[in-house]
């Protein structure tokens, strides 16, 4: 094939730019972006022609330069952060943004942040206010703490607490609680970062009160209890409850800190789950400081909430790290909305998506699955579609190993591998994330919202419809 002939047909940049203008691309995109796009497309065309021996393919590429440019500009203009449909059944999926928030709260957030707000302005006095004041009283009412503050996440909360209260001194921690939480949060490393000295006591499976007592001394700065949220030691085990530790703390005059991980503020046994330690229980049993995540079982935005004795919280509020870790107006606004919901715990299922998902009945999950399956128009020769029971998980390092019975729609393609089907679902618009197991894909209805069902159906119908073109 005469390559020169094809190379000479590659349009010049200014010709393409003129054409882009008539096609309206210059009103849609900045001129520099269009020029850069043209360069990329023509460079690719050149290298394609260099390795091409097929005249028809070469002509095809040359004839569609404008379409390629349009596609590229559109692709580059697409938002990278997208809403995705979670078909995994894991309610607090850390990779998928953990807790979704409700429409009403999102709307209120939009209303507040599109204008100015009283973030740090006291409307009563006309003077400077405190950003934490908007939810501090609420947190205290719900948990029984004397004061409260919030930072960017619970990892930051632990670092701040140790930096403000333990620095240069020892924090006593059970060997069974030296946890690593996903994403490089390890208690020994956070301790080191804070300037606190880790004093390990007991063994991996058993730690007794005497172990803590034997370690208490001049240089003890605090007793730290960490909820082993993402794993469980079973069998021959023993640990010391917060009540006894609190007693020891009082005896020696040191604060007792509990990192609860998932900020549970309602009894989860009402949802058929095991009881997880609740923030208000920890305070009632004598913890001086409790911290927990905002976006785990609390059901809110990413944050680390700290509550407990005022004298300690005040120390944290004055600490330089506080300024470095402070939450912004987005988080403040949503956190207040979330905590307000806890004033009426009986309505959490209506008001917080996490609890709505947790509390769905088996009957409702089956109905949702039937609705999805019923909207699929995939011929029997192409796929086997079934309603099957499956297991949802809470996720987010809460209740490890505990599953909640759920209902899913499974699809086994007859001419498409399940990995390929999973990939197509993941890469489309909107992305649908599902699990692959036993040679089929699983769409767990627990984490798929009602209004998302038609979208999932449309995506699947299109994937299978396209196979016959």
Ligand X SMILES: *Cc1c(COP(=O)(O)O)cnc(C)c1O
Nearer to ligand X, 248 or 305 (CB): 305
Q: Closer to ligand X by CB, 304 or 308: give it.
A: 304
Q: Indicate the residue among 154 and 410 with the shorter CB distance to ligand X.
A: 154
Give min distance, CB of 311 to ligand X, in A.
23
Residue 304 near ligand X by CB under 6 A: yes
Q: Give which of 380, 307, 392, 314 is closest to 354, Cα–Cα.
A: 392
Which residue's Cβ has the minimum distance to ligand X? 261
Nearer to ligand X, 256 or 409 (CB): 256
Q: Least distance (Å) from ligand X to the CB of residue 175? A: 16
360 binds ligand X (CB under 6 A): no
**Rounded to the nearest whole angstrom, what is the least distance from the CB of residue 254 to ligand X in the complex?**
21
What residues between 14 and 53 interact with ligand X by CB under 6 A?
Answer: none
> Cβ of residue 155: shortest distance to ligand X, in angstroms?
4
CB of 241 to ligand X, least distance (A): 16
Of residues 20, 161, 164, 181, which one binds ligand X by CB under 6 A? 181
Shortest Cβ 354–ligand X spacing (Å): 14
Cβ–Cβ < 8 Å for 258, 290:
yes
Q: Which is nearer to ligand X, 135 or 464 (CB)?
A: 135
Least separation in angstroms between residue 330's CB and ligand X is: 16
Number of residues interacting with ligand X: please give it, by CB under 6 A. 15
User: How many Å is the Cα radius of gyration of the chain?
Assistant: 28
Nearer to ligand X by Cβ, of 139 and 421: the residue is: 139
Task: Compare residues 263 and 408 and give the one whose CB is closer to ligand X.
Answer: 263
Q: What is the 3-state secondary structure (H, E, C) of the chain?
A: CCHHHHHHCCCCHHHHHHHHHHCCHHHHCCHHHHHHHHHHHHHHHHHHHHCCCCHHHHHHHHHCHHHHHHHHHHHHHCCCCCCCEECCCEEECHHHCCCCCCHHHHHHHHHHHCCCCCCCEECCCCEECCCCHHHHHHHHHHHCCCEEEEECCHHHHHHHHHHHHCCCCEEEEEHHHCCEECCCEEHHHHHHHHCCEEEEECCCCECCHHHHHHHCCCCEEEEEEECCCCCCCCCCCECCCHHHHHHHHHHHCCCEEEEEEECCCCCHHHHCCCCCCCHHHHHHCCCCEEEEECCCCCCCCCCEEEEECHHHHHHHHHCHHHHHCECCHHHHHHHHHHHHHCCCHHHHHHHCHHHHHHCCCHHHHHHHHHHHHHCCCCCCCCEEEEEEEEEEEEECCEEEEEEEEEEEEEEEECCCCHHHHHHHHHHCCCCEECEEECCEEEEEHHHCCHHHHHHHHHHHHHHHHHCCC
Tokens in use for 354? 């996490």
* Rounded distance between C-alpha atoms, residue 459 and residue 299, angstroms: 29
Of the residues 48, 108, 121, 185, which one makes contact with ligand X according to CB under 6 A? 185
The CB-of-303 to ligand X minimum distance in angstroms stands at: 7
> 208-237: which residues touch ligand X (CB under 6 A)?
226-227, 229
Nearer residue to ligand X within complex by CB, 299 or 397? 397
Residue 156 or 266: the one with the smaller Cβ distance to ligand X is 156
Q: Which is nearer to ligand X, 259 or 452 (CB)?
A: 259
User: Based on CB atoms, which residue is closest to ligand X, 224 or 385?
Assistant: 224
The interface mask with ligand X, positions 246-275, x = CB under 6 A, is -------------x-xx-------------
Question: Least CB distance from residue 301 to ligand X, whole Å?
Answer: 10
Closest approach of Cβ 290 to ligand X, in Å? Answer: 11
Q: Which of 286, 397, 408, 413 binds ligand X (CB under 6 A)?
A: 397
276 is an interface residue for ligand X by CB under 6 A:
no
CB atoms within 10 A of CB 252: 14
C-alpha 152/C-alpha 260 separation (Å) is 16
293 binds ligand X (CB under 6 A): yes
Minimum CB–partner distance for residue 86 and ligand X (Å) = 18
Binding to ligand X in span 121-180, by CB under 6 A: 153-155, 158
Query: Which spans of this chain sit near ligand X (rule: CB under 6 A)?
Result: 153-155, 158, 181, 185, 226-227, 229, 259, 261-262, 293, 304, 397
């Amino acid at each position: 094939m005469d390559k020169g002939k094809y190379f000479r047909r590659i349009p010049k940049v200014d010709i393409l730019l003129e054409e882009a203008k008539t096609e309206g691309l210059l009103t849609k995109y900045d001129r520099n972006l269009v020029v850069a796009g043209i360069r990329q497309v023509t460079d690719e065309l050149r290298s394609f022609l260099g390795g091409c021996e097929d005249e028809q393919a070469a002509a095809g590429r040359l004839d569609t330069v404008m379409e390629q440019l349009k596609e590229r500009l559109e692709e580059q203009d697409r938002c990278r952060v997208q809403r995705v449909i979670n078909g995994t059944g894991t309610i607090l999926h850390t990779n998928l943004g953990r807790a979704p928030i409700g429409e009403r709260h999102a709307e209120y957030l939009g209303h507040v942040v599109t204008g100015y707000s009283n973030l740090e302005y006291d409307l009563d006095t006309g003077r400077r206010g405190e950003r934490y004041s908007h939810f501090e009283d609420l947190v205290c009412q719900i948990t029984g703490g004397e004061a409260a503050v919030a930072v960017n996440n619970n990892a930051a909360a632990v670092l701040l607490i140790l930096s403000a209260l333990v620095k240069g001194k020892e924090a006593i921690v059970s060997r069974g609680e030296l946890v690593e939480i996903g994403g490089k949060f390890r208690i020994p490393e956070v301790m080191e970062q804070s300037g606190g000295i880790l004093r390990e006591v007991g063994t991996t499976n058993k730690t007794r009160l005497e172990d803590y007592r034997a370690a208490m001394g001049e240089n003890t700065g605090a007793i730290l209890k960490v909820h082993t949220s993402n794993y469980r030691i079973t069998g021959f085990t023993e640990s010391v409850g917060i009540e006894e530790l609190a007693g020891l703390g009082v005896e020696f005059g040191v604060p007792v800190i509990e990192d609860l991980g998932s900020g549970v503020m309602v009894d989860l046994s009402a949802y058929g789950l095991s009881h997880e330690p609740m923030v208000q229980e920890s305070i009632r049993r004598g913890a001086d400081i409790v911290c927990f995540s905002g976006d785990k079982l609390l059901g809110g935005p990413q944050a680390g909430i700290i509550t407990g004795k005022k004298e300690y919280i005040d120390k944290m509020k004055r600490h330089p790290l506080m300024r470095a870790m402070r939450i912004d107006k987005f988080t403040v606004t949503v956190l207040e909305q979330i905590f307000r919901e806890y004033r009426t715990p009986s309505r959490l299922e209506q008001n917080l998506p996490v609890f709505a998902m947790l509390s769905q009945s088996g009957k409702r999950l089956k109905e949702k699955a039937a609705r999805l399956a019923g909207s699929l128009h995939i011929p029997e020769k192409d796929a086997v579609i079934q309603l099957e029971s499956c297991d949802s998980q809470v996720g987010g390092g809460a209740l490890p190993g505990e599953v909640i019975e759920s209902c899913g729609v499974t699809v086994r393609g007859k001419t498409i591998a399940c990995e390929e089907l999973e990939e197509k679902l993941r890469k489309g618009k909107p992305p649908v994330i599902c699990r692959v197991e036993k040679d089929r894909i699983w769409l767990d209805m627990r984490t798929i919202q009602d209004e998302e069902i038609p979208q999932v159906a449309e995506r699947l119908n299109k994937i299978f419809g396209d196979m016959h073109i």
